C-alpha cells in the first residue's frame, strides 16, 4: 500500500509544473490564457482554468457593462479555479473603475493591466487578496510597476500578437530577471511545450499564451480566422501601425497588403502634434478596433486578424483542454530529453 501511495504521489507531481507563479495562485501549470481582444470569452476562460492554467479575458470584450457583469457571473458559476481579467488602465477607458469593481465582486484572482498606470488596480486588488501582473516591454516600465506594488510583470517581447514589444523574449526575460524582485511571465512566441521549457529556463515563472488559443473550439471568432492561424507561418506576420496607431502584429492578408502598414500621413501628423494628439489617438484606436471586430466575428473582405509569430507552431484546431494537455505533455518530454549529468564541465 505504501509503495502504491508513493507511486501515485510521484505521478501527481509529474502532472504539475511548480513555479513561483503556480504557487502564487495554487494552480497546476504556469500557463496564462492571454486576454485577447474579441477572441477570449467565458468558455475559453473556464476551460483553461479547469485544465490547470489560468484563463483571462479583456473586460472590454463585453459591452455594454451589463454584458460584462453577466460574463463575470457566468465564469464564477462555472469554475472555482482562479481566473483573471485584463483592464486597460489608459485614461481613455472610462469604464476601468467599474470593470475593476465588478471583477473583484465576482472573485477574480488575477488582473492583467495594459497601457497606463496600474496604481489604482494594484491598490484595490490587494485589498481583496487578488494579484496584479502588468504588461511591460522594457525595464523602465517594469521598475515603475514594481515600485507601485505589482505582483509580477508580463514581459511582452518581439513575436507576440497584438501590441508586441521590440526586444526578443530570449533577451527580455533574463534581462528583467536580473533587475526585478517580482515574478516574470514570458509573452511572445510561446505556443508549445518546448517554448514553455525555454521560458522557464530563461527565468520566467509562467508563459502568456494567446495565438495558440485562437485556434480552439471554444474561440467564438470566424472559422476563417482560426484557419488562417493554422495555415500561417511566422513570415506571414507583419507589424502595422495602421490599426491603432501603435505597432501591432497581424496576419498578412491581401487586404492588409493593400491597406499598407503605416498610418496615412494626415493621421500621423494629427497623432504626433501636441495640440491634436489627445483627440487623434483615441479616434485612431476606436476606428482600428471596429475594423478588427468586423473581421474577427463575421466574414469580411476587410480581413485584419491579430496573431503572433507562434502561428508557425499551431497545426490544428483543438479544445482549450486539449491544448493545455498537449503543452504539458510536450513540456515534460522536452525536459526529460535534455542532457543531464552526462554533460560535465571540462577541467
Both 263 and 327 in one domain: the answer is no
* 197 plus 155 within the same structural domain: yes
Cβ proximity of 76 and 107 under 8 Å: yes
Q: List, for residues 129-181, the tens digit of each pLDDT value.
A: 999 999 999 999 999 999 999 999 999 999 898 778 889 999 999 999 999 99
What is the reported pTM? Answer: 0.84
Q: Residue written as cell 515563472?
A: 205
Say if residue 151 is in the same domain as residue 11. yes
- Structural domains in the chain (count): 2
Under a CB-based contact definition with an 8 Å cutoff, are residues 302 and 284 in contact? no
First and final CA of the chain: distance in angstroms? 47
Instruction: Give residues with Cβ within 8 angstroms of 82, minimum separation 6.
Output: 25, 26, 27, 49, 54, 109, 110
Residues 252 and 330 placed together within one structural domain of the fold = no
Query: What's the full length of the chain, in residues?
Result: 347
In a domain, 346, yes or no: no
What was the pLDDT predicted at 273? 55
**Same domain assignment for residues 326 and 216:** yes
- Assess if residue 156 is contained within a domain: yes
Stated as kind and residue range, the H or E segment containing 202 is helix 193-202
Range of the domain at 249: 233-306
Those residues whose C-beta lies under 8 Å from the C-beta of residue 217, and which sit 6 or more positions away, are: 317, 318, 319, 320
Does residue 344 lie within any of the structural domains?
no
- Asked whether residue 194 falls in the same domain as residue 48, the answer is yes
Is the CB of residue 133 less than 8 Å from the CB of residue 150? yes
Same domain, 14 and 46: yes
User: Residues 19, 85: one domain?
Assistant: yes
Do 73 and 175 lie in a common domain? yes
Q: What is the pLDDT of residue 310?
A: 95
Helix (H) or strand (E) holding 113, with range, is strand 110-114
Torsion angles phi and psi, residue 54, rounded to 5 = -140, 120
The conformation of residue 107, written as its DSSP 8-state character, comes to T
What is the residue-level pLDDT of the chain in tens, covering all 347 positions? 444 443 333 334 458 999 999 999 999 999 999 999 889 999 999 999 999 999 999 998 998 899 999 999 999 999 999 999 999 887 767 788 899 999 999 999 999 998 878 999 999 999 999 999 999 999 999 999 999 999 999 999 998 987 788 899 999 999 999 999 999 999 999 999 999 999 999 999 999 999 999 999 999 998 999 999 999 999 999 887 655 556 678 888 877 776 655 545 444 454 455 655 554 455 445 555 555 454 444 444 346 788 999 999 999 999 999 999 999 999 999 999 988 755 555 54
CB contact at 8 A, 42 and 316: no
Asked if residue 329 belongs to a domain, the reply is: yes
Phi and psi angles of residue 269, each rounded to the nearest 5 degrees, phi first: -65, -45
Angstrom distances, CA of residue 59 to CA of 32, 146, 196, 197, 232:
16, 23, 27, 30, 28
How far does CA 296 lie from the centroid of its chain?
17
Same domain (yes/no): 76, 146: yes
Structural contact between residues 189 and 159, judged by C-beta atoms closer than 8 angstroms: yes
Report strand pairing: 206-209 vs 110-114.
Answer: unpaired
Q: CATH number, domain at 158?
A: 3.20.20.70
3-state secondary structure at position 315: coil
Do 51 and 86 have their domain in common?
yes
Q: Are residues 55 and 144 in the same domain?
A: yes
> b vs e for 289-327, b when ≥16 Cβ sit within 10 Å of the residue's Cβ?
eebbebbbeeeeeebbbbbbbbbbbbeebbebbebbbeb
How much is the CA Rg of the chain, to the nearest whole Å? 20
Amino acid at each position: 500500500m505504501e509503495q502504491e501511495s508513493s507511486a501515485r504521489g510521484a505521478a501527481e507531481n509529474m502532472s504539475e509544473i511548480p513555479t513561483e507563479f503556480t504557487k502564487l495562485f495554487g494552480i497546476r501549470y504556469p500557463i496564462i490564457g492571454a486576454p485577447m481582444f474579441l477572441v477570449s470569452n467565458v468558455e475559453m476562460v473556464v476551460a483553461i482554468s479547469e485544465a490547470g492554467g489560468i484563463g483571462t479575458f479583456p473586460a472590454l470584450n463585453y459591452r455594454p457593462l451589463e454584458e460584462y457583469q453577466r460574463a463575470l457571473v457566468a465564469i464564477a458559476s462555472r469554475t472555482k479555479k482562479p481566473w483573471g481579467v485584463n483592464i486597460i488602465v489608459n485614461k481613455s477607458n472610462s469604464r476601468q473603475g467599474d470593470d475593476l469593481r465588478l471583477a473583484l465582486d465576482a472573485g477574480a484572482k488575477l488582473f492583467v493591466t495594459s497601457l497606463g498606470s496600474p496604481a489604482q488596480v494594484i491598490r484595490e486588488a490587494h485589498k481583496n487578496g487578488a494579484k496584479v501582473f502588468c504588461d511591460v516591454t522594457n525595464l523602465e516600465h517594469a521598475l515603475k510597476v514594481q515600485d507601485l506594488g505589482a505582483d509580477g510583470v508580463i514581459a511582452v517581447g518581439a513575436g507576440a500578437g497584438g501590441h508586441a514589444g521590440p526586444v526578443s523574449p530570449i533577451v527580455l526575460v533574463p534581462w528583467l530577471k536580473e533587475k526585478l524582485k517580482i515574478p516574470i511571465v514570458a509573452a511572445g512566441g510561446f505556443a508549445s511545450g518546448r517554448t514553455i521549457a525555454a521560458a522557464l529556463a530563461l527565468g520566467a515563472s509562467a508563459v502568456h499564451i494567446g495565438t495558440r488559443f485562437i485556434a480552439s473550439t471554444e474561440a467564438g471568432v470566424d472559422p476563417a480566422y482560426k484557419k488562417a492561424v493554422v495555415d500561417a507561418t511566422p513570415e506571414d506576420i507583419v507589424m502595422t501601425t495602421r490599426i491603432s496607431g501603435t505597432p501591432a502584429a497581424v496576419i498578412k492578408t491581401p487586404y492588409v497588403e493593400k491597406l499598407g502598414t503605416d498610418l496615412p500621413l494626415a493621421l500621423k501628423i494629427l497623432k504626433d502634434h501636441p495640440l491634436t494628439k489627445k483627440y487623434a489617438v483615441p479616434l485612431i484606436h476606436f476606428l482600428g478596433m471596429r475594423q478588427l471586430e468586423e473581421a474577427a466575428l463575421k466574414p469580411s473582405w476587410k480581413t485584419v486578424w491579430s496573431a503572433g509569430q507562434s502561428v508557425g507552431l499551431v497545426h490544428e484546431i483543438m479544445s482549450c483542454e486539449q491544448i493545455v494537455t498537449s503543452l504539458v505533455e510536450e513540456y515534460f518530454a522536452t525536459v526529460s530529453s535534455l542532457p543531464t549529468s552526462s554533460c560535465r564541465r571540462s577541467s
